[in-house]
Chains A and B, each alone.
Chain A
Amino acid sequence: MESADASLLWYARILVEAAILTENLTRRFGEFTAVQDVNLQVETGQFYGFLGPNGAGKSTTIKMLTGLMAPTSGRMQILGLDLATHMVDVKRQIGVVPEGMALFGRLTGSEYLNFVGRMYGLERAVAAQRAAELLDFMELMDHPKTLITDYSHGMQKKLAMAAAVIHGPKVLFLDEPFEGVDAIASNTLKAMLQRMISRGATIFLTSHVLEIVERLCTHVGIINNGKLVAQGSLDELRSGIADETSPGERMSLEEFFLKTVGGPRTAAQELSWLG
């Protein structure tokens, strides 16, 4: 009876036009549980920031959602499709910038974008045209013969982002997209993401930088020790609605984050020998 209720609840959540939906998503590595019973609900058109301290389970979650890692248990749906049974169909509709950026160092930027476009089934002419537009937009057109391995870190990040969107995905997964990116490149990337959101795409990003999440995202989920400890719109979280211990209290995202995952150590815990 209980499992029937759970299934009903699951299908009810699907009806809410969720772009990303997980049920009791769990991943264990031997004895260690990296992600435990995570129930995510990201609706279409949301810019969702997935926050958490180091080792909290952000990357593991995003890897499971993009098919790079298998869950130990639980269900995942992207755009109404079950990832376990419709892996290729899901991949066709999502774009991913994974942790390692997934680049081929010995191709040029245009060759790589062409390659990715065609892996997503684009016609040769379309792939070439979009590659040219993306290189231009990302200001990478000045380096037509440079191999990716010789790109700077910021250029590689921009190229990885370009590759993730070349097929016009409906959902975009970004693992730390702004890490190691300078302010100029960062602005270019933010502009592109905002444009995608305005056209109805859904973006799921992980980041350590709370300011970025606060400026870009409409919704936030916080994971700590593998468990989803808070989820809601930015306003909900800020106003403390999602925080049951102090309802109505308005706080910054940083304050909420620190309160949720545990604040800085007390003076007694500080390192006595450190200058």
Chain B
Amino acid sequence: MAGITPEAGQQLRAVATLRRQLVLNSLRSVRGRMNLVSRSIAGLLVIAAGLGGGLALGATAWELTRTHKLEWLAAFFWIVFLFWQFFPVMATAFTQNIDTSALLRFPLSYKTYFLVRLAMGTLDIATALGLFWSFGLAIGVSAAAPRLIPWVITAVLAFIAFNVLLARAIFVWIEHWLSRRRSREIMGLLFFVLMIAFQFIGPALDHYSKRPASQRFGYVAKVAPVQRAFPPGLTSRMIAAADRGNSAGALGALILLIVYSGAALSLLHLRLRQQYRGDNPEGNATSSPKSADSTVRWGWKLPFFSGPVSAVFEKEIRYFSRSGPMLFTMIMPLVVILLLWGGRKSFLQHQSEFFFPIGAGYCLLVMTNVVYNSFGADGGGIQSFLIAPVTFRQVVFAKNLAQFAVLVVEVAILLLGVSLIYRPPHVVFLVLTFCWYLFAAPINFGVGNLLSLYSPKKIDYAVFGRQRASETTIFASLAVQLVVMGIGALAIFLGYEYADYWLGTLVLAVLAIPAIVAYLILMRRIDRIVMTRREVLATELCKA
């Protein structure tokens, strides 16, 4: 810890102890222990992915080094780089960070604060896998050409340093933008565009893979010089230059890599310095345009439903329309339609009859976030439900109704899109999808309601990188989705095997009956469950 004062060292140790204590204290509750089990499974998966990926990349690097095709290493450094930078942004559900900015009230020097933010933030899945894979590449090259070891180690360490610094810089800047509601909404839109862009990677690769080899290599030849100017390309360039004995070239690439790392460091420093000085705009901004209006619009009234159910339904729809992630859920069918439109002449053209059921399944899958932690966005508002003179069954039912209404709208848009792009789905696929929904929706809503009550987690849109649901919820929802999707796929397979899709439809219709009955039984017991869970719900969702 050279350059760190004894006081700073003590503070860093205190923060590390705090983190350890937080983990240990979380084990006091059953939920905490269940989360530990889920986290351990996730940890094992990460280790498996890290070791497996590292081994595969190592073997590839070894082969490329042996055959003196080291420039191709760039492709793998790019994969590692893209994963390292985008995974934490896209999969916040699997990352957990403590709010280290709260440490600002203690007499920490800026250097200590910087180190804490850097160290604590790097204990995530992306960094772990990035490290495994980078070292895998380094070991592969070193094993094939031991004379390159000093160069490889230097290049990979510089690459790792750049990635760690850039990932942290992106994280703190996004956190800063998300702390303002307006910029949060703009960020939500950008994320949405980015997610759509990701959906097109598959079709695009498929599209270009059908081009003649000469044309494909032409594209690569165009891209190669450009990518070489960026850190993943520079890392590979440095190793390749060293392999050719071009030390000057290798040093040049290293210097550029260090410059990039310096730029990332400056970005990180700029934001953390602002934060250290107190520029934390998480406070309230009440400077909205003042236009006094002495009337208040009437609330919604749903036909056939009571006032409280209508009120909760209205509240849910307003919440949907005002949050980025939920809005993303609502416009999912547009993404599916865009995908279909993108692939209409290529990879999808022979499976057009499955578009509608697959798209509908995708819509339900995306709703998981909302259904399995349905009180998460309510935060302290949960107490409004608990103190109101209504049965909780009405509240949960209204929430499910709103979620189902969103699904119906999504599926209707999907149906319209599929009909316009190709042709209206055959009636058997319409009925099959309908029956699958009758089976899958009650199961999802039922299990989702239970997990929402037993494993609630407050969703705070003002912070970035916190989990959207508990680990238990994530794993349980994945398991349920696997089952319902698997049964849907089996029903389609059955229809395909016997050349009669009505058979699969019948199976789903039969399965829908126990699913609906189970949902209704659960709803009858909801109030009893809430009476025993109300304190946990209020405590968990009212957390500051």
| A contact set with B: CB distance below 8 Å | 66-70, 88-92, 94, 96, 98-107, 110-111, 113-125, 127-129, 131-132, 135-136, 141-147, 149-153, 155, 163
Contact = CB atoms under 8 A, between A and B. Distances in A.
Interface of B: 181, 284-286, 288-299, 301, 307-308, 310-312, 314-315, 318-319, 322-323, 377-391, 531-532, 534-535, 538, 542
6 contacts: A69-B538, A100-B538, A104-B381, A116-B388, A129-B296, A147-B181
Contacts of B307: 118-119, 121-124
B295 A132 contact: yes
B319 A104 contact: yes
A110 B311 contact: no
Among B299, B382, B383, B387: residue with most chain A CB under 10 A: B387
A152 B284 CA distance: 6
Contact of B381 (A90, A102, A110): A102
A217 B384 CA distance: 26
B542 A150 contact: no
A202 to B, nearest CB: 17
A106 B319 contact: yes
Contact of A127 (B299, B385, B542): B299
A272 B286 CA distance: 45
B299 A128 contact: yes
Given A88-B390, A119-B308, 16 more contacts: A68-B383, A98-B387, A100-B383, A104-B319, A111-B314, A115-B314, A118-B307, A128-B299, A132-B295, A141-B293, A141-B294, A146-B288, A150-B181, A150-B284, A150-B285, A150-B288
Nearest to B534: A68
A102 B294 contact: no
Given A107-B318, A147-B181, A102 B384 contact: yes
Among A68, A119, A131, A152: residue with most chain B CB under 10 A: A119
A123 B383 CA distance: 22
Nearest to B394: A119
A104 B322 contact: no
A96 B289 CA distance: 31
B315 A107 contact: yes
Contacts of B531: 70
B383 A118 contact: no
Contacts of A99: 542
B456 to A, nearest CB: 14
Contacts of B390: 88, 119
A106 B318 contact: yes
B380 A110 contact: no
Instruction: For the complex of A and B, list the 10 residue pairs with the smallest distance between their C-beta atoms, beginning with the closest.
Output: A102-B383, A91-B389, A118-B311, A100-B380, A92-B389, A104-B381, A100-B542, A119-B388, A110-B296, A146-B288
B40 to A, nearest CB: 27
Contacts of A153: 284
Contacts of A91: 387-389
Nearest to B289: A145
Among A69, A96, A100, A141: residue with most chain B CB under 10 A: A100
